[in-house]
Chains A and B, each alone.
Chain A
Amino acid sequence: MISISSTFKLSFRALRVNKMRSALTMLGIIIGVGAVIAMLAVGTGASSQISEQISKMGSNMIMIVPGTTTAGGVRMGAGTQSTLTMADAEAIQKECSAVSDVAPVHSGVAQVVSGHLNWSTGITGTTQSMLNVRDWPLSSGRPFTQQDVRSATKVCLLGQTVVDNLFGGADPLGQIVRIKKIPFTVIGVLGPKGQSPNGQDQDDTIYVPITTAQKKLFGTTFPGMVRVIMVKANSSEELSTAERQINDLLRQRHRISNKQDPDFSVRNLTQMMQAAEQSSRVMTLLLGAIASVSLLVGGIGIMNIMLVSVTERTREIGIRMAIGAKTWDIRLQFIIEALTLSMIGGTAGIIIGLGGSHILSILAGWPTIVSIPSVMLSFGFSALIGIFFGYFPAYKASLLDPIDALRYE
């Protein structure tokens, strides 16, 4: 039996004889592998961008907003009715098992003044749970405590954009800012979070204790009113459970039967984002599948050339058989020749694919991520194609009759 390394040498020589033909045959595989890698890179880049946005927003998040009011037949839209209370938030925290943390929010927009600088921004009154719900660490200082919330102290956490606009480069910790002319002590700075999925600057905000917002900044139509309740579920699997539990609990608390429309609505933000991520994954697969077709066509090109090659070299096959080549010696020789074609093509395709996705990300501005598995997959796939499409010509060659093959002109 002939050794594999000798067979590889034989195949290299055979491919060198017809350089142009070998190069053109490889081109099919090169384009196929390159396309698979570039397409997967585009798709992976898109879905990782979405999942990055999800993690920025805070994972496993559910938002509860009050329902709509109707004034003389004119419906005012979601969030216009004031139905949610601090007590609702506490009840969700206590009674919904799938919920890990709850942060009620009472917010508004106000002018903020520090020294000679001023800035208009959203003021979010909330509890200490908010930072956990939104996965939002502080870059300096301390969060407010339960004590701050209970006694409505005048402390605040500033978002990075607010710090930049009110303090420039100075350290805001311990400084006083005036919100609606009321002095607040800056106790911490929120870490930069960047844009939200819909393009808002999430860093342009100030957090104050919710009680302070209710009593001193924006007032309430009734004590304990909140505008929004943010909820974090235990895990992404429990998101729907949490959603259902909250729905049931709030219907019960607000005395709304199942036949009536609720006076609140539960929005599962993470699930929406996950659907987007899912669809971009499907797109990735689709792109990969389309690119794979070109890889398949490349494989058929290899089979075509190998069949021609077997016919051309019938006499050589006859000689080899006469002097002792066994069935598998011949078969292996042609399979390895096809494999060599497809693997050299695959390697060149990987380089083209890497370069191509880099150029795409520069020219089109798309985020592209070349994942190692996609490279290994397409290389492995091209090798498999070499073996698969090389097998039939090799099989044909190995079954030639040595006498006929020797006589072949």
Chain B
Amino acid sequence: MPIIEVNDICKTYHMGDIDLNAICKVSLDMEKGEFVAVMGPSGSGKSTFMNILGCLDKPTAGTYRLDGEQIADLSRDELAAIRNRKIGFVFQGFNLLPRTSALENVELPMLYAGISAPDRRQKAREALRSVGLEGREQNHPNQLSGGQQQRVAIARALVNDAPIILADEPTGNLDTKTSMEIMELFVKLNNESNITVILVTHENDIAAYSRRVIRFVDGLVVSDVKQQQRR
């Protein structure tokens, strides 16, 4: 069974009298363990698509099943619970809490999952170790480099054992060398832990790390191709 099943979804915004389709009639499936790059120019609807996949937004038409669960008729709080359990977010701007240590940033999703404090601490330490940030637990985001901050964000995405990581231009704020390191970390997670990675990017270099590329133009999927992963 695919982990993501999208069927004829549309997202329509009402701008006065005009209906604006951000995405229209998109249908696709993703299997567990896939590494997918979503590409397209700005305004192509890829962000809307990612918001829907991330359960931050609901489609106005069509169905979306995540891990077998129908998303369309869930409440705000049920969506929050799904995001907490199933999805790890990695953002372009890292989106870590300022003035909060790396360890506590990583603990955050477990706080909302209701996990006890000692367990939180232990799992957060393990997650930081797995992204190569051992010894940086007490550093605040402003004491870490961009690459390190993104690693903290990845650790935070991993820590609740989410099967899916959604990365929205994760290397957009990083230099080329650090971008490579972050992408290799995604590849490692994808290979070793069988985590489904879906990333949005503008750059072909970054998309080359994926095994499937979906292109959006004007709210429609114009191409969906499998490719050889760059190693």
Residue of B89, B96, B109, B112 with highest tally of chain A CB at under 10 A: B112
Q: In the assembled complex, which residues on chain A have CB atoms less than 8 Å from the CB atom of B112?
A: 1-2, 320, 323-326, 329
Considering only residues 104-150 of chain B, those with a C-beta below 8 Å from chain A are: 108-109, 111-114, 117
Beta-carbon contact of A324 and B114 below 8 Å:
no
With the chains together, A306 CA to B97 CA distance in Å?
18
With A2-B114, A403-B57, A406-B91 as known contacts, state yes or no: A323 contacts B109, CB within 8 Å.
yes
Considering only residues 307-360 of chain A, those with a C-beta below 8 Å from chain B are: 315-316, 318-329
Residue of A1, A319, A321, A327 with highest tally of chain B CB at under 10 A: A319
With beta carbons under 8 angstroms apart, the residue of A324, A328, A329 that contacts B83 is A324
Q: B residues within 8 Å of A by Cβ?
A: 51, 54, 56-57, 76-77, 80-81, 83-85, 89, 91, 95-100, 108-109, 111-114, 117, 156, 160
With beta carbons under 8 angstroms apart, the residue of A2, A319, A328, A403 that contacts B111 is A2
Mask, A154-194, CB within 8 Å of B = 1, is 00000000000000000000000000000000000000000
Q: List 21 A-B contacts (CB under 8 A).
A: A1-B112, A1-B114, A2-B112, A13-B99, A13-B100, A318-B95, A319-B97, A319-B108, A322-B83, A322-B89, A323-B89, A324-B80, A324-B113, A324-B160, A325-B80, A326-B76, A326-B81, A327-B76, A329-B112, A402-B56, A403-B51
Give, as a whole number of angstroms, the nearest-CB distance from A394 to chain B.
16
Mask, A279-320, CB within 8 Å of B = 1, is 000000000000000000000000000000000000110111
With the chains together, A314 CA to B32 CA distance in Å?
34
Considering only residues 1-16 of chain A, those with a C-beta below 8 Å from chain B are: 1-3, 6, 13
Residue of A318, A320, A322, A324 with highest tally of chain B CB at under 10 A: A324
With beta carbons under 8 angstroms apart, the residue of A319, A324, A327 that contacts B84 is A324
Closest to A322 in B: B89
Q: In the assembled complex, which residues on chain A have CB atoms less than 8 Å from the CB atom of B77?
A: 326-328
Give, as a whole number of angstroms, the nearest-CB distance from A218 to chain B.
88
Q: In the assembled complex, which residues on chain A have CB atoms less than 8 Å from the CB atom of B97?
A: 316, 319
With the chains together, A406 CA to B92 CA distance in Å?
11
With the chains together, A320 CA to B99 CA distance in Å?
15
Q: In the assembled complex, which residues on chain A have CB atoms less than 8 Å from the CB atom of B76?
A: 326-327
Give, as a whole number of angstroms, the nearest-CB distance from A332 to chain B.
11
Considering only residues 387-409 of chain A, those with a C-beta below 8 Å from chain B are: 402-403, 406
With the chains together, A308 CA to B56 CA distance in Å?
25
Q: In the assembled complex, which residues on chain A have CB atoms less than 8 Å from the CB atom of B89?
A: 322-323
Q: In the assembled complex, which residues on chain A have CB atoms less than 8 Å from the CB atom of B99?
A: 13, 17
Closest to A329 in B: B112
Give, as a whole number of angstroms, the nearest-CB distance from A38 to chain B.
38
Give, as a whole number of angstroms, the nearest-CB distance from B91 to chain A.
7
With A2-B111, A324-B81 as known contacts, state yes or no: A315 contacts B57, CB within 8 Å.
no
Closest to B100 in A: A13
Beta-carbon contact of A319 and B80 below 8 Å:
no
Closest to A405 in B: B56
With A324-B81, A327-B77 as known contacts, state yes or no: A319 contacts B95, CB within 8 Å.
yes
With the chains together, A324 CA to B56 CA distance in Å?
10
Beta-carbon contact of A321 and B51 below 8 Å:
no
Give, as a whole number of angstroms, the nearest-CB distance from A178 to chain B.
88
